[in-house]
Amino acid sequence: MPETTRSIADRRRLARALPPLRDDDARAIARFIEAAWAEHGLARQTQAAYRRDLEQLARWRDGAGGGLLRIDRAGLFAYLGWRAGHGYQPRSNARLRASLRAFYAYLVRAGVRADDPAALIDPPRLPRPLPKALTESQVDALLAAPDVDSPEGLRDRAMLELMYAAGLRVSELVNLPANAVNLRQGVVRVLGKGGKERLVPLGEESQHWLERYLGEARPRLAGGKPVPADAHGGVPLFLTPQRHAPTRQAYWQSLKRYAAAAGVDPRVVTPHGVRHSFATHLLNRGADLRALQLLLGHASLSTTQIYTLVAREHLQRLHARHHPRG
């Protein structure tokens, strides 16, 4: 069941009402995050998710029985029961389990604990939803929605074209450095989850709009001033009038506006939906599953195989519509 805005707001209020984080728990979480980054190169979003999950558990426990470092399996089950009673969804609890498994496995490796209290916690059963892909005509209308006579509109058209052409995650798109695009070779270099790099073809249409953006809109957005480097030392490709990269939240809001302007229900248009559309449309037109895995930057082919279910539904609809015995 999808989470409502009200349920999310209720849980945020609940989290704010918990006691403050104790110093010993904060230090333990910080050491774990640093070690996880050094060992596995975790993406910033994963680090932030681990931190949120562990901090909420620590605040709920408030140092009882030794805090995070000494909690036993019964304490973890009690916390999961508390979450279940306050409306947390299975998907959120599945992510929490991943955070707990990673944290306590680290404590065992570091010799802080001899046992892993999270080892035998069963994952919640999750539905396997099919990705919601837009039709090709809906994508065409969405791509044509920005006003390309304005610098921001031309930038947004280039971003939409690139996201659809390369199947980028929204974090990958907004964080692209200026040197990631090679227009001469027609490729974009993407830094994906876990710091894994991949090269993705641009396509003629995306390349055209990127050339226009770089030649017309980006200089105007920069205002003739040098663009400051981001936190990682790179210069962002896509700029706001303040000469910074757009945030994921700002991009999401602009996508909703363009969906409404294109006559597409904004509730079904998300950044990840555009990525799903890229994958589904490629598969429907005969793309190889292994090639699709490389383009999407999936670590496992099993993650990509969900798109075969989408393609099968598409073929079933075509058969039912056009076959004499459909």
Predicted confidence (pLDDT) at residue 39 exceeds the cutoff of 60: yes
The rounded distance, in Å, linking the Cα atoms of 218 and 223 is 9
Residue 169 appears among annotated catalytic residues = yes
pTM exceeding the 0.85 threshold for the entire prediction: no
Catalytic residue among 59, 83, 157, 275: 275
Predicted confidence (pLDDT) at residue 270 exceeds the cutoff of 80: yes
* Region of poorest pLDDT, from 57-61, 105-109, 119-123, 251-255: 119-123
Query: What's the whole-number average pLDDT of the chain?
Result: 85
Predicted confidence (pLDDT) at residue 266 exceeds the cutoff of 50: yes
Catalytic residue among 52, 193, 248, 256: 193
The rounded distance, in Å, linking the Cα atoms of 143 and 165 is 11
Which one is predicted more confidently, 129 or 85?
85
Catalytic residue among 61, 155, 218, 298: 298
Residue 298 appears among annotated catalytic residues = yes
Of 97-111, 181-195, 293-307, where does the model show the most confidence?
97-111
- 162 contacts 187 by C-beta, under 8 angstroms: no
Residue 225 appears among annotated catalytic residues = no
Domains, the chain, in order of start with CATH, read 5-109 (1.10.150), 136-322 (1.10.443.10)
Predicted confidence (pLDDT) at residue 205 exceeds the cutoff of 90: yes
- Res 285: pLDDT: 82
User: Mean per-residue pLDDT for 29-35?
Assistant: 94
Residue 319 appears among annotated catalytic residues = no
Predicted confidence (pLDDT) at residue 325 exceeds the cutoff of 70: no
Tell me how far apart the 2 most distant CA atoms of the chain are, in Å. 71
- The full DSSP string for 175-195 is T-BGGGEETTTTEEEEE-GGG
Which one is predicted more confidently, 300 or 266?
266
Predicted confidence (pLDDT) at residue 93 exceeds the cutoff of 50: yes
Catalytic residue among 109, 257, 272, 319: 272
Degrees, nearest 5: CA angle 112-116-117: 120
User: Mean per-residue pLDDT for 93-99?
Assistant: 86
Catalytic residue among 88, 164, 213, 307: 307
Catalytic residue among 11, 61, 83, 169: 169
In sequence order, which residues have a C-beta less than 8 Å from that of residue 291 and are 6 or more positions away?
none
- What is each CA distance from 224 to 148, 152, 217, 219, 322, in whole angstroms? 20, 16, 12, 6, 57
Helix 306-322 × helix 271-284 angle, to 10°: 60
